[in-house]
Amino acid sequence: MSRNKELGRKIRILKAIKQNRRVPGWVMMRTARRVTQNYKKRNWRRNNLKL
């Protein structure tokens, strides 16, 4: 069953979920739009996690 996961795996999945977001607007403003994309952005269909 998908909900029966070990605690360590759950923590790693949560970390990956938190990392998988865009760069905040204030970061773009602070860097004068040199940083516009998160190069670690991941799509759940294209890339698998190594957990």
Count of residues in the chain: 51
Residues 4-34 have pLDDT tens digits of 989 999 999 999 999 999 999 999 999 999 9
At residue 13, the pLDDT reads: 95
Work out the average pLDDT over 35-42. Answer: 95
At residue 12, the pLDDT reads: 95
CA proximity to 22, closest of 37, 6, 7: 37
Q: Is the pLDDT of residue 38 over 80?
A: yes
The whole-model pTM stands at: 0.76
Which phi and psi angles does 7 have, rounded to 5°? -60, -40
Domain locations along the chain: 1-37
